[in-house]
Amino acid sequence: MEAGRSRSGTSQDQTRVLIKVRLHKFLAHAGVASRRASELFILAGRVRVNGHLVRELGTQITPGEDRVTVDDKDIKAPRQRLYVALNKPPGYICSRHDPQKRQSLMDLLPKEWSRLYSVGRLDWESEGLIFLTDDGQFCLGLTHPRYGVGKTYRVTVEGRVAPETLARMKQGVRNRGEELRADKARLLECSKTRSIIELELSEGKNREVRRLLEAQGLRVTRLQRTQIGRIKLGELPLGKWRRLTKSEIKSLLPEL
């Protein structure tokens, strides 16, 4: 696992994460043909891997490691994809450019990674775990509601939160014409002046956590995302990043 760093820091481990992909997907990503046409190339015996003829559609290869040819012509591997976990500080936006000239997540990453974009959003005030990538399929798989990837938040609010409030959030509330609902909601700490709640949601609607709590009359003083799918924020320091490991990527999107 690669250690995080700040803009002035240096990474401790530059080991690449090698991901196996299906051969027909590799050919499509390399611009040879569509996925379906690439399958036909394989079945027709036009594709070799490391000099060996391949006719099985389920064959997997490691881009950049295995040599792939079509009609004896080498196929170059697409650029190595990047998958990064970052502990977003408050006061940073997720967009690359901002008319207000606020700090961006891109300011926390190496300059050569300017092609990355955030997977979903955390608003300016919020903090915690966020992914950045240059893989559009990975981004879609984690943000589209149909995939239902759970995200966990630790939220501090003013005042004491009653059990019935948590129950209402799990039942769902209407807000600005949308149904907002927490898959899970539990009270971690509680006093007369503040409460800390853990929420899990999977739909990813705009500012959903804040809206869900505000609909209960609760004022949020801190919002931190602590987990996406099986990947936890852990001890990653605020403002630092690390690359996702191969096993972490596969746990998020097993079909990659």
- Which CATH number characterizes residue 248's domain? 3.30.70.580
Catalytic-role residue among 71, 74, 107, 123: 123
* Cβ count within 10 A of residue 114: 11
Q: What are phi and psi of 199, to 5 degrees?
A: -120, 145
Same domain, 132 and 158: no
CA 187 to chain centre: 26
pLDDT of 114-161, one tens digit each?
Answer: 889 999 999 999 999 999 998 888 888 898 877 889 999 999 999 999
Full-model pTM? 0.74
Are residues 109 and 167 both part of a single domain? no
Q: pLDDT, tens digit, for every residue of 23-39?
A: 998 898 787 888 889 99
Alpha-carbon distance 214 to 148, whole Å? 23
**Residue closest to 252 by CA, chosen among 90, 140, 166, 171:** 140
- Residue 12, in any domain of the structure: no
Q: State which amino acid sits at residue 25.
A: K
Name the residue range of residue 130's domain: 83-145+231-252
Both 122 and 247 in a single domain? yes
Domain boundary among 74, 94, 112: 74
Task: Determine, yes or no, domain membership for 175.
Answer: yes
Please, what is the Cα angle at 97 between 91 and 101, to 5 degrees?
55
Per-residue pLDDT tens listing for the chain (256 residues): 444 544 333 333 434 456 788 999 889 878 788 888 999 999 999 999 999 999 999 899 988 889 999 999 999 876 778 999 999 999 999 987 788 888 999 999 999 898 899 999 999 999 999 999 988 888 888 988 778 899 999 999 999 999 999 999 999 988 888 899 999 999 999 999 999 999 999 987 889 999 999 999 999 999 999 999 999 999 999 999 999 998 999 898 765 4
User: Rounded to an integer, what distance in angstroms lies between the CA atom of residue 133 and that of residue 153?
Assistant: 21
Burial class (CB in 10 A: 0-12, 13-18, 19+), 161: buried
Residue 28 included in any domain: yes
Question: CB 136: neighbour CB atoms within 10 A?
Answer: 10
**Is 72 one of the annotated active-site residues of the chain?**
no
Helix (H, G, I), strand (E, B) or coil at 158: strand
Residues 161, 221, single domain; the answer is yes
Co-location of 68 and 179 in the same domain: no
